[in-house]
Amino acid sequence: MRYAWLAGFALFLSPLAQADSLDLQLSSDVFAARYSSGLLGKTANMDFGFQHHSDNGEVATLGLEVEQSSGQHDSLALGAQLVGIFNDYDDAAALALGGRLNVGLPSAPKVRFGGHLWVAPRVTTSGAEDYLDWGVRLGYQALQRGEIYIGYRNTEVGYKHGVDFEMQDDVHVGMELSF
- Residue 41 Ramachandran class (φ > 0 left, ψ -120 to 50 alpha, else beta): left
pLDDT value at residue 162? 79
Residues 21-62 have pLDDT tens digits of 999 999 999 999 999 988 766 678 899 999 999 999 999 999
CA separation for the pair 24, 67 (Å, rounded): 20
**What's the alpha-carbon Rg for the chain, to the nearest Å?**
16
pLDDT value at residue 100? 95
Per-residue pLDDT of the chain (179 residues; tens, 9 = 90+): 444 444 444 544 444 445 589 999 999 999 999 999 887 666 788 999 999 999 999 999 999 999 888 877 788 999 999 999 999 889 999 999 999 999 998 888 899 999 999 999 999 999 999 999 999 999 999 998 999 999 999 999 999 877 888 899 999 999 999 88
Closest-CA residue to 141 (of 169, 104, 92): 104
pLDDT value at residue 42? 67
Strand partners, 36: 21, 47
